[in-house]
Chain A
């Protein structure tokens, strides 16, 4: 009895192994994988990356094969996924959350034949690049619009977690507001999470209840836009064009066009010219942009925004050019000076027209 069972088991295992071997012998396609922190349906961050994935599928057609993994935990728990992608001989893996950084680095060291692209981090390796976009540029433009459109001079801002990236983008937005409306204040509420529709809604509601007539956001879901729509105030989205969530309320949104960048990366890897780098592209590269302005935005505001957009693209204007003061009234950037990329990447202070504080570490 036992012998028979063992024999059966043996046969089954052999069959499974054969099955596995046969299915791996297939025509070789260029394999690209995307690892996401959230669901592709979040309408925000992950959705924007997945638009990029669909874009490259269209561009490269049959010569590539893409896959994605959603809802991956933002820690070393993700290492099994990166390792299996490398074992499955994926040519490029795009890891689109900061928390994947150490896991990606560890796997990159072990599997030199896969190119790892890590979004929003700072560690690189022979076969691992860091990449991000200067979305503070369109955020500054969105701030200009908010500064013009507010009547209560109170602009609500739903912010996720207090890392330099978020602080920088919030500051750029506030500087845009200040440029055209020095009396308006930007009120920041933290959700302490990238994607948490319920908390984002609560945050937006509390801001609207306290008198904000525009809700801007940097979190990943469309909940703030929806809440603004329900409450009849204006909204400025983030990550992707969220206008379908706020047909009457939506003004614009700073958006990512990852596909443009992904296309160049894949081309570079295909023809062997890819090199590890720390990429930080702006509006001039097309990786970030401002979503088309809604008809609620007056024509003169539109043209002012366009002027600044062109100036930023040409390099004639920088959102972080002095004078800039922090919340305590210290002059952080002198007149005529511009913050360096190093300073932008480690920013831990708010500009003076922001109401709200940054949770700080005690060290």
Chain B
């Protein structure tokens, strides 16, 4: 009997700038689908043009929304940089949102209570940023230890810790940290001016952007130029081989999680010191979750992560503008943003793999999968 088999396998031949081309092509595909979707919805082709015009001009022009895009890029990039390192060893830290919250909370504690009378702005800010990073790192250390020594699944523990962080923040802003002059509203007092992140000139962009760029190089260095980065890669590729060659998975896991948590905590710290200037609800719009997608789309490359974070910030800002100008409901904006992501991920699969139809005998079912990885 003749057996026709569909086989999915990795394409071996690669072409130049493959990753870049895939991204561009998939973006175009998603824009076309999106265009048809909008056309059907509004029945007017001019709306499609208008939508693209908004999406590609407003977020990226200086007099318009460029500053907003950059302000959204900063936390996304920082968190994504941390996530790259753990994702490299195939540890799935879903808890960046909680680590961000802890960073923001620790910074608030420092700014409003511990160091509130500090007169030197530079040392106060430095201290507060370090404080935030440490808090985020400690929050990430919990699931790291649980995984290293009790083999608890980090996806579950990191995710659960997010909820604890959110409720902890609620407790603080509804309770002990509530602004005494705030008419009982759930927010803290405004931080002392000394602790606000300085702006770069008159741009409206705080110095968080410099910290972000420095950390891009730090992350790159760690991942590609250090022993640690090499070990992380080996663990990610083949944990058994790593173990046999004497690499301590537990040690690397803990270091990577601390790094990842510290960057998320730093992002939280920067958000409250640079943008919010107080702690309140909604200070994060899910940056910790969005950054997972950023890290993934950047294919775990630190430099791409910044670019992707920038484009993603643009997508968020552009989405707001589409509501204003095109009067699209928020659900439609989310659908459009989802569509872009979906095409990016799907086309990666389509371009990197191919479907091969083979005639072969049914006995060889076993080792089909390990072929070309």
Residues of A within 8 A of B (CB): 16-17, 19-20, 23, 33, 39-40, 67-71, 73-77, 79-81, 83-85, 87-88, 98-99, 102, 122, 161-164, 167, 192, 345-346, 348, 359-363
A67 to chain B, nearest CB (A): 5
Q: Which of B56, B57, B276, B325 contacts A76 (CB 8 A)?
A: B276
Nearest A residue (CB) for B54? A20
Query: Can you list 7 A-B pairs, Cβ within 8 angstroms, ordered by A?
Result: A39-B329, A75-B281, A80-B317, A81-B320, A84-B324, A88-B324, A345-B183
Distance between Cα atoms of A39 and B50 in the complex (Å): 24
The proximity string for B residues 180-209 relative to A, scoring 1 for CB distances below 8 Å and 0 otherwise, is 100111110000000000000000000000
Contact of A362 with B176 in the complex, beta carbons under 8 Å: yes
| With A74-B281, A83-B68, A361-B184: A23-B50 Cβ-Cβ less than 8 Å | yes
Nearest A residue (CB) for B49? A19
Contact of B330 with A70 in the complex, beta carbons under 8 Å: yes
Q: Which of B65, B186, B327 contacts A80 (CB 8 A)?
A: B65
| With A345-B183, A361-B184: A67-B324 Cβ-Cβ less than 8 Å | yes
Contact of B320 with A361 in the complex, beta carbons under 8 Å: no
B310 to chain A, nearest CB (A): 15
Q: Which of B71, B184, B283, B331 contacts A346 (CB 8 A)?
A: B184
Distance between Cα atoms of A165 and B174 in the complex (Å): 15
Q: Which of B53, B183, B317 contacts A20 (CB 8 A)?
A: B53
Contact of A76 with B184 in the complex, beta carbons under 8 Å: no
Contact of B58 with A84 in the complex, beta carbons under 8 Å: yes
Contact of A84 with B323 in the complex, beta carbons under 8 Å: no
A51 to chain B, nearest CB (A): 16
Distance between Cα atoms of A345 and B187 in the complex (Å): 17
A313 to chain B, nearest CB (A): 28
Nearest A residue (CB) for B58? A84
For A73, the chain B residues whose CB sits under 8 A away are 282-283, 285
Contact of A23 with B320 in the complex, beta carbons under 8 Å: no
- 3 cross-chain pairs, A with B, having the tightest CB-CB distances, nearest first: A73-B282, A361-B178, A80-B68
For A75, the chain B residues whose CB sits under 8 A away are 276, 280-283
Considering only CB atoms and an 8 Å cut-off, how many residues of chain B contact the other chain?
Answer: 44
Distance between Cα atoms of A217 and B325 in the complex (Å): 35
Contact of B180 with A363 in the complex, beta carbons under 8 Å: yes
Distance between Cα atoms of A122 and B58 in the complex (Å): 32
A32 to chain B, nearest CB (A): 12
For A348, the chain B residues whose CB sits under 8 A away are 184
Distance between Cα atoms of A73 and B277 in the complex (Å): 16
Distance between Cα atoms of A301 and B56 in the complex (Å): 60
For A359, the chain B residues whose CB sits under 8 A away are 174-175
| With A33-B324, A70-B323: A16-B183 Cβ-Cβ less than 8 Å | no
Contact of A77 with B283 in the complex, beta carbons under 8 Å: yes
Contact of B178 with A363 in the complex, beta carbons under 8 Å: yes
B257 to chain A, nearest CB (A): 27
B185 to chain A, nearest CB (A): 5
For A39, the chain B residues whose CB sits under 8 A away are 329-331
For B68, the chain A residues whose CB sits under 8 A away are 80, 83-84
Distance between Cα atoms of A99 and B174 in the complex (Å): 14
Contact of B324 with A99 in the complex, beta carbons under 8 Å: no
| With A16-B57, A84-B324: A70-B184 Cβ-Cβ less than 8 Å | no
Residues of B within 8 A of A (CB): 49-50, 53, 56-58, 63-65, 68, 71-72, 170, 174-178, 180, 183-187, 275-278, 280-285, 317, 320-321, 323-325, 327, 329-331
Nearest A residue (CB) for B321? A84
Contact of B329 with A192 in the complex, beta carbons under 8 Å: no
Distance between Cα atoms of A162 and B63 in the complex (Å): 40
Contact of B324 with A346 in the complex, beta carbons under 8 Å: no
Contact of A87 with B64 in the complex, beta carbons under 8 Å: yes
Q: Which of B71, B285, B317, B324 has the most CB of A within 10 A?
A: B324
Q: Which of A19, A74, A76, A88 has the most CB of B within 10 A?
A: A76
Nearest B residue (CB) for A39? B330
| With A164-B184, A348-B184, A363-B178: A99-B317 Cβ-Cβ less than 8 Å | no
Q: Which of B64, B183, B330 contacts A122 (CB 8 A)?
A: B183
Distance between Cα atoms of A16 and B56 in the complex (Å): 8
Distance between Cα atoms of A40 and B332 in the complex (Å): 13
Contact of A16 with B53 in the complex, beta carbons under 8 Å: yes
Distance between Cα atoms of A163 and B33 in the complex (Å): 46
| With A23-B53, A81-B320: A362-B175 Cβ-Cβ less than 8 Å | yes
For B277, the chain A residues whose CB sits under 8 A away are 76
Contact of A84 with B183 in the complex, beta carbons under 8 Å: no
Q: Which of A70, A77, A102, A360 has the most CB of B within 10 A?
A: A77
Contact of A163 with B183 in the complex, beta carbons under 8 Å: yes
For A83, the chain B residues whose CB sits under 8 A away are 68
Nearest A residue (CB) for B323? A69
Contact of B185 with A192 in the complex, beta carbons under 8 Å: no
Distance between Cα atoms of A75 and B53 in the complex (Å): 28
Contact of B325 with A67 in the complex, beta carbons under 8 Å: yes
Nearest B residue (CB) for A106? B277
For A122, the chain B residues whose CB sits under 8 A away are 183
B275 to chain A, nearest CB (A): 5
For B280, the chain A residues whose CB sits under 8 A away are 74-75, 99
A227 to chain B, nearest CB (A): 23
Contact of A84 with B282 in the complex, beta carbons under 8 Å: no
Contact of A74 with B183 in the complex, beta carbons under 8 Å: no
B190 to chain A, nearest CB (A): 8
Nearest B residue (CB) for A192? B170
Distance between Cα atoms of A102 and B275 in the complex (Å): 11
Given contacts A77-B283, A348-B184, 17 further A-B contacts (CB under 8 A): A33-B324, A39-B331, A74-B280, A74-B282, A76-B275, A77-B275, A77-B276, A80-B317, A84-B65, A84-B320, A88-B325, A162-B186, A192-B174, A346-B184, A360-B175, A361-B177, A361-B180
For A102, the chain B residues whose CB sits under 8 A away are 278
Q: Which of A70, A79, A84, A98 contacts B185 (CB 8 A)?
A: A98
Nearest A residue (CB) for B167? A192
Q: Which of B184, B186, B282, B285 has the most CB of A within 10 A?
A: B184
For A163, the chain B residues whose CB sits under 8 A away are 183-186
Nearest B residue (CB) for A90? B324
Contact of A361 with B175 in the complex, beta carbons under 8 Å: yes
For A362, the chain B residues whose CB sits under 8 A away are 175-176
For A71, the chain B residues whose CB sits under 8 A away are 330
Q: Which of A19, A76, A81, A88 contacts B53 (CB 8 A)?
A: A19
Nearest B residue (CB) for A76? B276
Contact of A161 with B186 in the complex, beta carbons under 8 Å: yes
For B327, the chain A residues whose CB sits under 8 A away are 67-68
